[in-house]
Amino acid sequence: MTDAAAVEAAIADTHRREWALVLAATVRVARDLDLAEECVQDAYAAAMESWVRNGVPGNPAAWLTTTAKRRAIDAIRREKALRSRLPLLLEPEEEAGEVTAEESTAQDAEALDHVIPDERLRLIFTCCHPALSPEARVALTLRLACGISTPDIARAFVVSEPTVAARITRAKKKISGARIPYRVPPPVELPERLRAVLAVIHLMFTTGHTAPSGASLVRAELVGRAMRLSRMLLELMPGDTEVRGLYALLLVTDARRATRVDADGRLVRLEDQDRSQWDRTALAEADDMIVGCLRAGPPGRYVLQAAIASLYADAPSYDRTDWPQILAVYDKLQEVWPSPVVALNRAVPLSMVAGPQAALAEVAKLEQGRRLSGYHYLPAIKAELLSRLGRSGEAARAYDQAFALAANETERAFLAEQIADHTFPA
Amino acid sequence: MVQYAVLIYAHDSAHAPDAPAEDTETCDRHSDELQQDGSMVAAYALTPRGMATSISGDAITDGPFVDSKEVVAGFYVIEAPDLDAALAIARLNPVVREGGGVEVRPVHSSFVKAAEQTAT
């Protein structure tokens, strides 16, 4: 007998680390996402009982895979006559391998080490197919690649459970009904399709890093999931600079985790954060990756964003930040990824290089463009620039606008303080 | 193989009843290509929006059903092994680079009367 608590911990750990691996291997046999998911869930449930009795196996992922695959084969045999669902499309050479229930855990362990990395990629590329809505891509990725339950996904994105469930069901239906192939796209399509995958992971991370609503600034679970997915993608596609760039960006951004709010949960501005508390190991790892990416050729969006974040983080103090260099990277970023959000963020280094007045002119242009009309960081940045110019009254009004648009309580509390400070300057 | 319908959205159809051959040349050439490579199952070029009559409830109105910048200018059915392959074929349609676009949808079922050679 093994201690139930120890088994529970081992199961939780395997769930976090190996869910995608086990599911992807099972999909290959089940050829149906729903069936594969059910079988993997059953396998996790069976693990509890079996591992308490027999001990935690040496390779828990292989044990789970074998169990889930057996269940899939049984289910297919049982249901063969009844099944009317369309099987997933696998590439022809993959279909040849007949898998039997007798295939041993040892073989599964072997397979997990060699063949399966590709299987996880198929899973991710299918979840992030551009024929699915962006919301569905995120929900499906969290569900299938991370094994997160529908209620937890609903909580993370602050939408109702039925909404998430409907999104996932609709997406799965479209995958089989419209015959979205279950495969890694061929090289010609890869760059475009990879962008969609990276965007899903990035969105997952940003939603967790600064929660769009709610009391807490951070949704740590989402940040952790995004980091893990990003690392997994890096292991599977180590040669791609944008894959490396995204991972570096997440590392740098998350390295400031400990200092973004104070002991009372209040927002701390970048200039006031205690830099000695930043995760230097993560920053150094990211730095190495960014340098490597920049040497490898013309950088893409994520490499440049990572470079900017890293320039911010590497300065010994806020005052000694290399503003001209950051501004130069922003100019490059605008070339490869023209976006009003990038233009807005560029106003910050611009204000340090050319003064707040020049930056304010840029912000005014974006305000007229109206594409950022619901984005609370626009009036927030504008307010700060006005404040630096000593125009307190106007700053207070801009902070007011930001307050009205912001939905995260931590950010709102910070903005409320700013409104007070600028309305009644000390 | 699965059948996919490709709906062509454009500002208007080039296939006016009296359209000279040069007006429909690009469309026709693309259609010929798909016929030759064997992916085309059926194709229908529709007349311009001015020819359309819509019915909703009891009302009969002049023009396309949805009042929008684009109309369905035509549609065709292709055969492909999966959605990616269908999208790869559909994106070759010249309308995609001429300000319009296409919509791709799996066909559920179909019927065509076995005709004694329709005149074209």
- Which domains are assigned to chain B? 2-106 (3.30.70.1060)
Q: What percent of chain A has pLDDT over 70?
A: 92
Residue A88: pLDDT band with limits 50, 70, 90: confident
pLDDT tens digits for range A117-133: 578 899 999 999 999 99
pLDDT score of A101:
46
Token couple for A345: 């963020």
Residue A38 placed within a domain: no
Residue A273: how many other CB atoms lie within 10 Å: 17
B83–A131: do the CB atoms touch at under 8 Å?
Answer: yes
Q: Select the more confidently predicted residue: A98 or A235.
A: A235
Give percent helix, percent strand, percent coil of chain A, each to the nearest 5. Answer: 75, 0, 25
A180 contacts in B (CB within 8 Å)? Answer: 82-84
Residue of A nearest to B108 (CA): A177
Q: What percent of chain A has pLDDT over 90?
A: 75
**Segment holding B44, helix H or strand E:** strand B40-45
**Mean pLDDT, to the nearest integer, of B61-65?**
94
Domain count, chain A: 1
Question: Which CATH number does the domain housing residue A409 bear?
Answer: 1.25.40
Backbone angles phi, psi at B101, to 5 degrees: -170, 180
| Chain B nearest CA to A133, separation (Å) | 15
| Chain B nearest CA to A119, separation (Å) | 18
pLDDT score of B119:
52
- Does A192 score more than 70 pLDDT? yes
**Mean pLDDT, to the nearest integer, of B59-67?**
93
- Does A348 score more than 70 pLDDT? yes
pLDDT score of B117:
61
B84 contacts in A (CB within 8 Å)? Answer: 180-181, 185, 189
Residue A390 region, left (φ>0) first, then alpha (ψ -120 to 50), else beta? Answer: left
Crossing angle of the two packed helices A150-157 and A161-177, in degrees rounded to 10? 110
A131–B2: do the CB atoms touch at under 8 Å?
Answer: no
Per the CB < 8 A criterion, the answer to whether A105 and A66 are in contact is yes
Per the CB < 8 A criterion, the answer to whether A90 and A31 are in contact is yes
| Chain A nearest CA to B9, separation (Å) | 18
Q: Give residues 93 to 112 of B whose Cβ lies within 8 Å of A.
A: 105-106
**Distance, C-alpha A367 to centroid of its chain:** 29
Residue A383 placed within a domain: yes
Residue A144 placed within a domain: no
pLDDT score of A226:
94
- Does A382 score more than 50 pLDDT? yes
Per the CB < 8 A criterion, the answer to whether A39 and A69 are in contact is yes
Q: Select the more confidently predicted residue: A387 or A152.
A: A387
- Does A86 score more than 90 pLDDT? no
Residue A382 placed within a domain: yes
- Does A104 score more than 70 pLDDT? no
**Mean pLDDT, to the nearest integer, of A291-315?**
96
Per the CB < 8 A criterion, the answer to whether A182 and A120 are in contact is no
Residue A405 placed within a domain: yes
- Residue of B83, B91, B104 best to disrupt the A interface, most CBs of A under 10 A: B83
Residue A38: pLDDT band with limits 50, 70, 90: very high
| Chain B nearest CA to A368, separation (Å) | 26
Q: Is B87 on the interface with A (CB under 8 A)?
A: yes
Crossing angle of the two packed helices A241-254 and A280-296, in degrees rounded to 10? 150
pLDDT score of A84:
60
**Mean pLDDT, to the nearest integer, of A34-61?**
94
* Cβ burial, residue A86 (10 Å; 0-12/13-18/19+): middle
- Residue of A179, A182, A184 best to disrupt the B interface, most CBs of B under 10 A: A179
A179 contacts in B (CB within 8 Å)? Answer: 2, 81-83, 106
pLDDT score of A116:
47
Residue B27: how many other CB atoms lie within 10 Å: 21
pLDDT score of A286:
97
Residue A228 placed within a domain: no
pLDDT score of A387:
96
Q: What is the extent of the structural domain holding A389?
A: 350-426
- Does A96 score more than 50 pLDDT? no
B81 contacts in A (CB within 8 Å)? Answer: 89, 179, 181
Residues 6+ apart with CB under 8 A from B79: B1, B2, B3, B4, B38, B39, B41
Residue A301: name the closest of A255, A338, A327 by CA. Answer: A338
A89 contacts in B (CB within 8 Å)? Answer: 81-82
pLDDT tens digits for range B37-56: 999 999 999 999 999 999 99
| Chain B nearest CA to A10, separation (Å) | 40
Residues 6+ apart with CB under 8 A from A206: none
Q: Which residues of A185-199 are buried (b: 16+ CB within 10 A; e: fewer)?
A: beeeeeeebbbbbbb
A189–B84: do the CB atoms touch at under 8 Å?
Answer: yes
Residue A129 placed within a domain: no
DSSP A240-292: -HHHHHHHHHHHHHHTTGGGSB-TTS-B--GGGS-GGGS-HHHHHHHHHHHHH
- What is the ipTM metric for this complex? 0.85
Per the CB < 8 A criterion, the answer to whether A118 and A237 are in contact is no
Average pLDDT, chain A: 90
pLDDT score of A97:
46
Residue A263 placed within a domain: no
CA distances from A161 to A418, B22, B35 (A): 36, 56, 47
pLDDT score of A158:
79
pLDDT score of A229:
93
